[in-house]
Structure 1
Amino acid sequence: MKRLHLTRFFNNLIALTLFVVPTCRLIAAESKAKKPNVVLIVSDDMGWKDVGFHGSEIQTPNLDRLVAEGVELDRFYAYPICSPTRVALMTGRSPIRYGILSPVGKSSKALPVEEFILPQAFKAAGYETFMTGKWHLGVPDETAMPHRRGFDHYYGFLSGFIDYYTHTDTRRRQLDWMRNGKLVNEEGYSTDLLADEAVRLVEGRDRAKPFFLYLPFGAAHTPLQAPEKVIAKYNDITDRDRRVYAAMVDAMDSAIGRVLEAVGKQGVLDDTLVIYFNDNGGARAGADNGHLAKGKGSVYEGGIRVAAAMRWPAAIPAGKKSSQLTSVMDLFPTLIDAAGIERGQAKPFDGRSVWPAIKDGKKIGRDGVVIASPQEIAVLRGQWKYIRSARENSQRASRLFDVVKDPGETTDLAGKKPDLAGELDKLTREFLPMMANIAPRGRGQGGSRTRGLLWRNDPLLIALDENRDSQLSATELGQADAKLRALDRNKDGKLSADELGLRRR
């Protein structure tokens, strides 16, 4: 009888083992396979010092929270202008390869539709993919629309900047506000509307799938516009541009907070990788680049070193500051590495994954990170930055700075370290032939000033130039009175600087 009981016992034990072991393996596999949600937030034209965690008077509690509960990417580099940064983000490759180092128009040179880009990688991995915000990668036809390039849902604007209330392209006065390719005429402050849409998408998503949300705000790009109640918070700032600019950043931070709150209400915020960065250095209108040299458009630190942070409590230790040299080209490989998904059909990256540095604090060596404007190329490696002309046979002297000790780039060390300068110069050689086909901004291929530059920078002439030929015909002059009256939004019989768009440059 005892033998029978023992036999039954061992049989039951074997059966239990056969059940438990596969089940444990299944649970472990599911745990390993569980992918994080990803929220990628980009601000526009903000200065290095325009966030609370860099000591700004502007209130940014939600961005500050990302740093407090995650890691600050202290040496994060973007390109010095909007469109090139977005090319690098979407492809993981240098925008020099595509000839895009200046802002692209809605129908001008665009990121080729053949490129396999970041949202497509997430979509292929089973993610729901959403975008609410600024595209600015060119849309020559329907196939180049964001909702045709990997995003399940797109809401926002295609050009570089719009009026925050009318949602019109401020240069052509045309509506630039859409949902999945269809123009929509809606009321509201664009920063708030983008957040509202993001909240709706998060709340209505398929809970069985992870989601990828790309949220590139227009703020704090010109025109300088913000809700009056937010501007009133900064009445102690005497400079009007700075006061309105501060309110724009404040409003954007509040919008970010609402989106993260929506994620949190679903109980998945700690399972969500949130990354924030700014697209280039601050412009002259209201921004503060602090101790960094120069600003937007320049390859000096004030133009390309930007505020950035990442939060994911499940994987990233809180309250850290990473000095790892990181660029916007690294985000594609880093995000897919962190999420555990494949690169798909993406072309070879110029960037590389820095996920081990972010997650574990491991130092990742770099041969060199190349950043360029139409005029100059910079190479970053370790503490060093080398700057030279973008023209291969230029006689202009190159420069070398220790940007860790000298972030203001006041002391040129090229003369003292010629071997190092020469070594870094070699890293520009692959790109210099490509640069020969990229005209300096505001100049034609031959280096002469383009006739259209004056017109592109003068909103009054733009408003009257109906057929965009950079000339005023007799017919257009005959319509001038009606057009100028249309610009007079408050109907006071005068055209203010805001109505003319002069504060928007």
Structure 2
Amino acid sequence: MFRLVAVCACLVGICSSADAASRPNVLLIMADDLGYSDLGCYGSEIQTPNLDQLATNGLKFTQFYNTARCWPTRAALVTGYYAQQVGRDKLPGGGGGGGNRNARPKWARLLPDMLRPAGYRSYHSGKWHIDGMPIAAGFDRSYLLKDQGRFFNPTKHWEDDQPLPPVKKESGFYGTIAIADHAIKCLKEHQADHADKPFFHYLAFTAPHFPLHALPEDIAKYRDRYLEGWEAVRDQRHQRQKNSGLLDVSLSAVENDLGPPYHFPDHLKILGDAEVNRPVGWETLTPVQKRFQATKMAIHAAMIDRVDQEIGRVLSQLKSMSAFEDTLIFFLSDNGASAEIMVRDDGHDPDAPMGSAATYLCLGPGWSTTCNTPFRRHKTWVHEGGISTPLIMHWPTGIQAKGELRHGSGHVIDIVPTILDVCGADRLSEWKGTPVPAPPGKSLRPAFEEDSTIKRDDLWWFHDGHKAIRQGDWKLVAAKDEPWELYDLSNDRAEQNNLAATHAQRVTEMAAKWEALGAEFRATYESAE
């Protein structure tokens, strides 16, 4: 649609307005705590037909990375910088950036400020977890759902930066549906009032992040599906990944002694004996524990199923306004599946139906290990299970490849340069007189055409004391207070064969580069303080 408008405009000599009209729309969809294998097209048994169809008619990336946690990923996603560069996660050695409550430097603008000169309107629906507020940060419309602990009755949410009243209990509200409703509302308004302009829409679902809250009809679809246990489901997912050609990767060994990243013994008492905080053998569980754990996974599956259903509604709206063909769609997750177990917000009533508003359940390490198939570890860790995400890209007008895989490595810092490249927008070189540092990401646009490795710099991670660096196929990684491990990801993405002892020089060199990049990111941030 927009390209047709552009041609007509140029014919009558008003190419300046046509430049904006010829640019594609962008729909950036992010899920929360979704594991690498949680989509049907990435090996799952969960029904995700809408996302699967986007993958069938677009691209799937096999080696795309996030930052292992929600707020640093979101900072990188919409600024194009590592979170440490913009003060949105802690720096090695302390000081400087302070994490999820820290403010970005004024030069660290979000995508709307970069796209506005190219004629774009920008919309936000869902989770935020960035400093400031969406409208103040450049979005034209926003629905911000901050209260992630209450899918059915949130108490903290905003529309266009204005607080909304708490949602009453048993009102029929469900967060995933409400987020999609707002996205559809924005798209309808755009079609009615701004059809001559392209749009950028950031659609950030809060699911399947804990607490495990889902609609009863969605849970019913999966209620007994997981009684066979986490090992069996993990093996099935791995086999599907291999059979589909997605991955030729061995299955990582289960770390039976590795539990949640943060221990809350009092919370375990609230949850009772049916809760299990280690990925122990399924057959060692009691019948009560098996049913409890299987139902938790059924709720997780239901939450993902519902996300896919709501994405389907958004896609239908795009089609109804003749915008689907020329909308570049991204789908990805902010980190790996979570091994966390805790009780917050309204607490947990063990007598209430599991998945209802009165319950507070988390996935835990047994099922998190399965959801991150075939990789090792979970959210917060920077081993592959914590930082690997599905990435689907779909754009009928601009991506001719259909159902193809892309094996080159990428990172959320690449999303901004890709969008700017596709949309014909320039990165900011200064902001109100302040120079803007060069961003570290690379445009993924060459991958639209072929499965070739994009020339890039090293990829770097640091979160909660965990650290890693990737150079080509070599990855150096260390959990908090543990020694460096070295892996050749070309044949060991499961991170099972630690080569640190036999490649000591490489370890030294890569560790030094990790330190140097950390110092560089500190300088980027502190120069603006």
TM-score range, shorter chain: 0.7 to 0.9
Verify: 1:233 aligned to 2:226, yes or no: no
Q: Deviations over 1:205-230 (max 9, x none)?
A: 11011011000110010010010011
Number of equivalent positions:
399
Corresponding residue to 1:164 among 143, 151, 154 = 151
Please name the residue that 1:368 is paired with: 458
| Matches for 1:11-50 after TM superposition, within 5 Å | 23=11, 30=18, 34-50=22-38
Contact 2:122 2:199 survives alignment (8 Å):
yes
> Which residue in the other structure is 2:377 paired with?
294
1:347/1:133 CA distance change after superposition, 3 Å:
farther
Matched residue, 1:352: 442
Q: Deviations over 1:296-327 (max 9, x none)?
A: 01000000011111001112111111011100
Instruction: List per-residue Cα deviations over 1:361-411 (Å, max 9, x = no partner).
Output: 443122311122121221112222112477xxx7x5311112232122111
Q: Does 1:272 align with 2:272?
A: no
* Map of 1:203 onto structure 2: 188
Structure 1 partner of 2:89: 101
Q: Aligned partner of 1:301: which letter?
A: E
Q: Secondary structure at the match of 2:408?
A: coil
Question: TM-score w.r.t. structure 1 length?
Answer: 0.74
1:413 corresponding residue in structure 2: 499
2-structure distance, mates of 1:251, 1:75: 26
Q: Residues 120-159 of structure 1 correspond to what in structure 2 (within 5 A)? A: 120-138=113-131, 144-158=132-146
Q: Contact 1:96–1:434 at 8 Å: present in 2 too? A: no
Partners of 1:204 and 1:315 in 2: CA distance: 25
User: Is residue 381 from structure 1 mapped to residue 374 from structure 2 by the alignment?
Assistant: no
- 1:182 is matched with which residue: 146, 162, 173? 162
From the superposition, tell whether residues 372 and 80 of structure 1 become closer, same or farther in structure 2 (CA, over 3 Å): same
Q: What are structure 1's unaligned runs of at least 5 residues? A: 1-19, 139-143, 168-174, 438-505
Instruction: Tell me the equivalent position of 1:191.
Output: 176
Contact 2:330 2:393 in 1 (8 A): yes
Q: 1:338 aligns with which of 405, 422, 434?
A: 422
Flag the 1:372–1:203 CA change in 2: closer, same or farther, 3 A.
same
- 1:313 equivalent to 2:396? Answer yes
Instruction: Give the fraction of aligned pairs with identical amino acids, expressed as a percent.
Output: 32
Task: Give the structure, 1 or 2, with the largest relative contact order (CA under 8 Å, sep 6 or more).
Answer: 2
Inter-partner Cα distance in structure 2 for 1:110 and 1:163: 26
Counterpart Cα distance in 2 of 1:31 and 1:97:
33
| Letter aligned with residue 77 of structure 1 | Y
Query: 1:147·1:180 contact (CA, 8 Å) conserved in 2?
Result: yes
**One-letter amino acid of the counterpart of residue 233, structure 1:** K
Classify 1:105/1:267 alpha carbon distance in 2 versus 1 (closer, same or farther; 3 Å).
Answer: farther
Distance across 1 between alignment mates of 2:295 and 2:11: 64
Cα offset for 1:436?
Answer: 9.3
Mark the runs of 5 or more structure 2 residues left unpaired by the alignment.
Answer: 1-7, 91-96, 228-293, 340-362, 431-435, 524-529
Give the C-alpha shift of residue 65 in structure 1: 1.4
Partner secondary structure for residue 378 of structure 2:
coil
Cα separation, 1, equivalents of 2:500 and 2:310: 45
Deviates more, 1:422-431 or 1:251-260: 422-431
What's the offset of the Cα at 1:351? 1.2
Structure 2 counterpart of 1:263, from 301, 318, 342: 318
Q: Is the 8 A contact 2:462 2:468 kept in 1?
A: yes
Q: 1:182 to 1:77 in 2, by over 3 A?
A: same
**Which residue number corresponds to residue 360 of structure 2?**
none
- Aligned pair partner of 2:45 in 57, 77, 80: 57
Paired residue for 1:5?
none
Where 1:372 maps in the other structure, the secondary structure is strand
Structure 2 counterpart of 1:449 = none
- Given that 1:295 and 1:302 are in contact with CA atoms closer than 8 Å, whether structure 2 keeps it comes out as yes
Per the TM alignment, residue 57 of structure 1 is displaced from its structure 2 partner at its CA by 1.2
Do the aligned residues in 1 keep the contact of 2:409 with 2:453 (CA within 8 Å)? no
Does 2:407 match 1:323? yes
Change (3 A) 1:198 1:29: closer
Structure 2 counterpart SS, 1:146: coil
- 3-state secondary structure, aligned to 1:241: helix
Q: C-alpha root-mean-square deviation of aligned residues, in Å?
A: 2.7
User: In the superposition, relative to structure 1, how do residues 401 and 118 fare at CA in structure 2: closer, same or farther (>3 Å)?
Assistant: same
Match of 1:172? none
Structure 1 residue ranges (4+ consecutive) displaced by more than 6 angstroms after TM superposition: 24-29, 104-107, 434-437
Tell me by how many angstroms 1:434 deviates.
Answer: 7.7
In the alignment, residue 37 of structure 2 is paired with which amino acid? K
| Mapped pair 1:254 → 2:309 | yes
CA distance in structure 1 between the partners assigned to 2:16 and 2:142 by the alignment: 35
